Amino acid sequence: MKNIFYLFLILNFISITGFSQDRIIKVTRDTIKCQIKEIGDDEVKYTQQNLYGDVVFGIDKNKIHQIIFSDGKEVKIKDSMYDSEQYEKQHKNAVKVGFLSPLFGATSFTFEHNLKPGSSIEATLGIIGLGDNINGDSSEGIYLKFGYKFIKSPDYYFKGTRYAHILKGTYIRPEISLLTYSEIPNIDNYYTSGSGARETVTMFAIMLNTGKQWIVNNRFLFDWFIGGGYGFGDAKNSNAFRFTFLGGGTDSKLVLTSGIRIGVLF
């Protein structure tokens, strides 16, 4: 009788340990105890002992945070939307030129680098005096702009959802601008009588921009944006045009900006 009892315990132990207890940790931190059968591109398949061992269940990988196997090994699962491996063949850097900036007396050059899906940094150099100023004045100087771009993700997620291109999409870009340039307040007196001293203008602005960037064939881009913020500095006249933004003069601290940029990816 004892032998039968021990045999029953052994068989029971084998049946329990024979079913490996892997664990699926969901993004909600709920745990599924199971036996992993397959890890695919979009789905993980598993069975559960207490729910008919021969029935195979599936769960979207984007709902999984981590898989812990019965031997202690762990596998981190990345959301396909933000998995950098999904975008390995896409260019992550771009150089842009302000399409209309030369008409306003300052040619701008922008470098963009993608940090991760949904986030990029931008740096812009503007050379004031490089171009034909429609205002007819004679100014010389530079401006610098630094921004962090948040690229909007889709409103609805489906299995395997990802960005069409890592640099493409509607975005919000907080930005700071620094500029310094010299100008002649009365350009007519300067040319007719030779009089008129140059004045130096130095300004600083904090801005919030929104825009959209299109990518063509993973090689070319078109970028449009508009924004506003606050400007500070030593502008001594009421001239609202500041090459990289409008406003921030003696009358108001409000500044506005907009632009069109074209460029290439690499």
Domain with CATH 2.30.30 in the chain: 21-77
Rounded-to-integer distance, Cα 184 and Cα 136, Å: 11
**Whole-angstrom Cα distance, residue 124 to residue 180?**
14
Q: pLDDT value at position 3?
A: 59
What pLDDT digit, counting tens, does each position of 130-163 carry?
A: 877 665 567 889 999 999 999 998 766 666 677 8
Across 228-250, average pLDDT: 81
Q: What are the start and end residues of each CATH 2.40.160.20 domain in the chain?
A: 85-265
Tokens 């931008």 sit at which residue? 122
What topology is assigned to 21-77 in CATH?
SH3 type barrels. (2.30.30)
Q: What confidence tens digit (pLDDT) does each residue in 65-94 have?
A: 999 999 989 998 887 788 888 899 999 999
Residue 111 has pLDDT above 80, yes or no: yes
Tokens read off for 257: 């900006």
Classify domain 85-265 by CATH architecture: Beta Barrel (2.40)
Rounded CA gap, 27 and 252, in Å?
49
pTM as predicted: 0.76
The rounded distance, in Å, linking the Cα atoms of 148 and 47 is 45
pLDDT over 70 percentage in the chain: 80
Whole-number Å distance between alpha carbons of 224 and 35: 51
Q: What is the pLDDT of residue 190?
A: 47
Please report how many Cα atoms fall inside a 13 Å half-sphere around the Cα of residue 220, on the Cβ side: 4
Cα Rg of the chain, angstroms? 30
Inform me whether the pLDDT recorded for 104 exceeds 50: yes
Residue written as token pair 């929104």: 210
In sequence order, the 6+-apart residues with CB closer than 8 A to the CB of 131 are 101, 102, 103, 104, 105, 106, 107
Between CA 149 and CA 124 the distance in angstroms is 13
Residue 187: the pLDDT is 52
Nearest Cα to Cα of residue 67 among 23, 30, 31: 23
